[in-house]
Amino acid sequence: MRELLFAALLCGAGCSAALDFHECNTSSDCKNELYCNPQHECVDTTPCRISVEATAAGTPLVIAGLYLLSEPIDGPNDHAIRQAVDLAANELNTQGVPVRHVACDTGGDTTTALRAFDLAVTQYGAVAVVGPNTSAELIALAPEAKARGVAVVSPAASAPTIRDLPDDGLIWRTCGSDNLQAKVLSSLVPAADSLDIVWVSMDPYADNLEKAFVATSGRTDATPITFDSPNVADAVSRMDAPKYAVLIVDFDAPALVAALAGAPGQSMTQYLMTDSALTPTLWGPGPYDFSYLSRIRGTAPALPAFSDPSGPVYAAFDVSYRAAFSQESPADTAFVANAYDAAYAIAIGAAAVGGKPTGHAIAANLGRMSDATGTKIEIGPGQYQAGVNALVMAGGSINLVGTSGPIDWDDAGDVLTAPTEVWQVADDGTGAPMFKVVNTITP
């Protein structure tokens, strides 16, 4: 009898231990801001954190976002791009579609981006990624995405070489290749005028765009000036008072603009920049010299005109984004609409799988979203389910109309057409700088 009682006690203790052998059930069970992963372990997931938790019932689709978030709000950063994916995730949860958005800070560094990607996949269970937003990070990430079978849709990595990466069909973009932007940029420089080209040669984004610009413009006579980030003063000192200067820089754009103000011999130089400069941090805190700032123009992905099929879709997104984020305009930063499109395309592709989605299954469905003869689907909460239903049909395809423009992917995951705007820094009427769209060109 005593033996049976002892065995019963052991069984009770053992069974209890087996049932409770979880370090955590939710992250609130963990200390020091650790995250409770799907294996019920408290782990350090820095630099990744949940940005939007799934509130709809069911197993959530985990979308990771790889962004530059560590810079201060008044420095170059991707906070507006992250917010666009937050908005998509919140709208989908409201529609009853469980989506968890995990935002990871890449720090603008390939090593950190790779760690963030690893954490997003192994600890959070992400099957798809929005980002990263620099070409260097995406190129470094490609082998890992292929090895792990994760679908990647970048809203901003625009290097032409990305198209030919051996990615097993997993890497897609909602932004145009730099080859498209280079055509517009080169049209802004008269052939007979002197030209300097300033870029960071160790940055794949800048280096590839410089090559695309030279190839498109034929300006082999331009003075090439490369510099190592962040030695902008060195670059400025080597400029030879050109009539035009093309400045192809990313994180160094604000510092370069500050260094060029009042530069000797350049009081008449016209400066041309690219999409990476299109952030409100470009002109710094002031005071503002508009005789100088008005000489800065640039190119960037264009927002669709209202007469374009994507125009009303963007307008609806603009209203929703402003309402969600204290009237902040999504037009103030490049690629915000592209990020929103990326998140929705992933969600539609995942839901159309019909079971547990994998990166390859999502990517396969992305390939069925650019059929001009397919069902027209506008990105946003209103037509999300119609898009899923059309893809679920045997052999179904859709014609996806994005907020950033038509999503007309080719077989390599590149958009074929991308309207490009020419912008200029101007006075907003109150003495503060603003980006003014001069015109829009579709190369």
- What is the pLDDT, as a whole number, of residue 230? 87
Q: Is the pLDDT of residue 3 over 60?
A: no
Predicted confidence (pLDDT) per residue in 248-301, tens digit? 998 899 999 999 998 999 999 999 999 889 888 899 888 999 999 999 999 988
Closest by CA to 169, choosing from 430, 410, 370, 419, is: 410
For residues 276 and 378, membership in a common domain is answered with no
| Torsion of Cα atoms, 380 then 384 then 386 then 389, to 10° | 160
DSSP assignment of 36-94: E-TTS-EE--TTEEEEE---SSSSPEEEEEEE--SS-TTSS--HHHHHHHHHHHHHHHH
CATH number of the structural domain spanning residue 246: 3.40.50.2300
Q: What is the pLDDT of residues 352-365, one digit of tens each?
A: 998 899 999 999 99
Q: What residue has token string 């980006």?
A: 435
170 and 292 co-located in one domain: no
Rounded-to-integer distance, Cα 52 and Cα 66, Å: 14
pLDDT for 73 equals 58
Asked if residue 329 is part of any domain, the answer here is yes
User: Domain total for the chain?
Assistant: 3
> pLDDT > 90: what percent of the chain?
73
What is the rounded distance in angstroms from the CA atom of residue 345 to the CA atom of residue 366? 7
Output the CA angle 123-348-367, nearest 5 degrees. 100
Q: Residue 412 domain-assigned?
A: no
pLDDT of residue 11 exceeding 60, the answer is no
pLDDT tens sequence across 141-173: 999 999 999 999 999 998 889 999 999 999 999
With respect to residue 4, please indicate whether it lies within any of the assigned structural domains. no
343 falls within a domain: yes
Tell me if 238 sits within 8 A of 265, measured CB to CB: no
Is the pLDDT at 4 greater than 50? The verdict is: no
**Is there a single domain that holds both residue 135 and residue 71?**
yes
Claim to verify: residue 146 and residue 204 sit in the same structural domain = no
Q: Is residue 217 assigned to a domain?
A: yes
Q: pLDDT band for position 72 (50/70/90)?
A: low
> Do both 184 and 169 map to the same domain?
no
The string of pLDDT tens digits covering residues 78-131 is 999 999 999 999 999 999 999 999 999 999 889 999 999 999 999 999 999 999
User: pLDDT confidence of 8, banded at 50, 70, 90?
Assistant: very low
Q: So what's the pLDDT on residue 278?
A: 87
Q: Which of 418, 437, 435, 373 lies closest to 174 in space, CA to CA?
A: 418
pLDDT top residue among 201 and 51 = 51
User: 146 and 85, same structural domain?
Assistant: yes
Two structure tokens written together for 233: 């003063």
Among 152, 176, 200, the domain-final residue is: 176
Decide if pLDDT at 2 tops 60.
Answer: no
Quick check: is 6 in a domain? no
Task: Identify the residue with better confidence: 203 or 324.
Answer: 324
pLDDT at 75: 60
| Burial of 170: CB neighbours in 10 Å, binned 0-12, 13-18, 19+ | buried
Q: Which of 176, 205, 222 is where one domain is finished?
A: 176
147 and 34 housed in the same domain: yes
**What one-character DSSP code corresponds to residue 261?**
T
pLDDT tens digits, one per residue of 379-430: 999 999 999 999 998 679 999 999 999 899 999 999 998 889 999 999 999 9
What's the chain's average pLDDT? 91
Alpha-carbon distance of 147 to 167, in angstroms, equals 9
Report the predicted TM-score, pTM, of the whole model to 2 decimal places: 0.80
Residue 8 located in a structural domain: no
Give the three-class secondary structure for 384: helix
Look-up of token digits 């201060």 = 72
Average pLDDT over every residue of 60-78 = 84
Q: What is the pLDDT of residue 247?
A: 98
Q: In the prediction, which pLDDT does 69 show?
A: 92
Of 383, 377, 419, the C-alpha closest to 396 is 377
Verify that 235 and 350 share a domain, yes or no.
no
Question: Are residues 166 and 187 located together in one domain of the fold?
Answer: no
State the DSSP H helix or E strand holding residue 376, giving kind and residue range, or none if neither.
Answer: strand 375-378
Instruction: Give residue 56's pLDDT.
Output: 98
pLDDT class for 21, splitting at 50, 70, 90? Answer: low
Same domain flag for 144 and 198? no
Is the pLDDT at 193 greater than 70, yes or no? yes
Residues 281 and 188 reside in one and the same domain: yes
Report helix, strand or coil for 392: helix
Give just the sign of the alpha carbon dihedral 172, 176, 179, 180: positive
| Amino acid code (one letter) for 348 | I
Residues 339, 290 share a domain: no
| Domain encompassing residue 38 | 19-176
Domain stop point among 128, 147, 176: 176
Predicted pLDDT of residue 394: 66
Question: Does a structural domain hold residue 59?
Answer: yes
